[in-house]
Structure 1
Amino acid sequence: MTSTNYTINTRQKRKIYGIAGAVITLAVPFFLMLFNHDNHLETAQSLCPFKMLTGFPCPGCGITKSMVYFYSGDLSKSLHYHVLGRL
């Protein structure tokens, strides 16, 4: 196997991993939205390790909740949790 074939295969694998990661990142909030019947996201504890250790929010804190409320159509709550969650 030549180095060119190895580079192509590595690039293809990285592309597939990137696409799979993006799909998972978008699917998790969608499924959370489906199972948010009793509005448990309002009171649920954040699973952010940085916030759990320091008590301060990281730049990504709230983005999952923001996307869940964006998928639900509640733009005001979406913006409340994270400004970038609506992108």
Structure 2
Amino acid sequence: MWKSVVTAIAFLAMGGSAFAASAVNKDAQTRTLIVTEGGGKTELALAAGETVEFCPNGCFVTLPNGDLEALTGSETVEISGGVARIK
């Protein structure tokens, strides 16, 4: 019985970490997002045409226009024409 419970918990923990937010830069120049996660801030520079995954456990992201958005880890941030949209 306990083995089944431990196996189920381990499986759910592994499955939950497979999701992360992604950011897609469709612009011709590098764009930067500020990611706040666990109390720390990091700059996420996206080269032209680059797609990256980040924020697997939820975070806040400051978009190029200065707006602050909360992400749960399943969204896509799409940057086009210097404007970021959450999908």
With normalisation by structure 1, the TM-score equals: 0.33
TM-score (norm 2): 0.33
Bigger fraction of residues in strand: 2
Going by fraction, where is helix more abundant, 1 or 2?
1
RCO comparison, higher one (Cα < 8 Å, 6+):
2
